Amino acid sequence: MIPSPIPEIVIVTGASSGIGAATARELARRGFHVLAGVRRDRDADALRGPGIEPLILDITHPEHIRALAARVQGDPQGRAVRALVNNAGVPVNVPVEVFPIDEWRRLFEVNLFGHVAVTQALLPALVRGKGRVINISSVGGRVAMATYGPYAGTKFALEAVSDALRREIAPSGVQVVVVEPGAVRTEMLGRAATTAQQLASTLTPEQGQRYGGLVQAIAAQTASATEWGVPAETAAQVIARAVTARKPRTRYTVGRDAALVTFMARILPDRMLDCVVAATLRPYFPKQSRSAH
């Protein structure tokens, strides 16, 4: 009887809920040993199961990243690392003018610099295992819609880093893949809508005149997406495909909306794309302000 092979390791950050948790479960179901980064003990207890080993991981804390690298390096079974799924992230829908600069820095720490730090720490193991880096971007990494400036800025940057890294480490046998979800029904969508509603109450009168209707429209559109967006399990299946495909594509989209928006971004001039995006958002504006948009 041939012994079953030792399962390879996959690291998934931001696995407390949503896409990350669904991805951890999907990869464990496919036979991988998943090191699932979570923020709290109760998240770890909820996720722990066959093939899933939760670890407390805040990707902005260097000591957490060092502990993760040590866990991988000292794996008791000497398992190879198949993939790092950089999934952790914070959603924000705020006009560029009103988002405090310190909050810009904090957002980039989580949505970009943390991913770079984890990738740097794990690249030696990924090179040894001929593994791959899966960066979870967003349709916002291809098109920056109104109030998505801060969030899209982090995702555009993540896409650029991914392109550079892919070209740098391809000779070492490590592949880099970007996954671009559109609307996915997760807690992140709900948090984004709540943040937008909270923001509306903090605008100055002048800012309220400029952005009040826009912020309300974005909140309404985001709330709508919780109904028609794809489930987290759909995103997890795409990510699992990126992990397991013999020759993965450099980019995958998740959901029809992401596929459509990225296609339009490739073929439409900027001004025409502006008009399409504005027309899509217009039905969500408060009635009294629709005429101005």
Q: In terms of Cα–Cα distance, which of 91, 15, 98 is closest to 52?
A: 15
The length of the chain, given as a count of residues: 293
Q: Which of 105, 84, 95, 255 is nearest to 186 (CA)?
A: 255
Please tell me the distance from the alpha carbon of residue 54 to that of residue 34, in angstroms, as a whole number: 8
- Strand runs labelled E in the chain: 9-12, 33-38, 52-56, 81-86, 132-136, 175-181, 184-185, 230-231, 251-254
- From the CB of residue 42, how many other CB atoms can be counted at a distance below 10 Å? 10
Is the four-CA dihedral 212, 218, 221, 226 of positive or negative sign? Answer: negative
Residues contacting residue 46 through CB under 8 Å, at least 6 positions apart = none
Q: What is the 3-state secondary structure (H, E, C) of 133-182?
A: EEEECCHHHCCCCCCCHHHHHHHHHHHHHHHHHHHHHHHHCCEEEEEEEC
List, by residue number, the catalytic residues.
Answer: 151
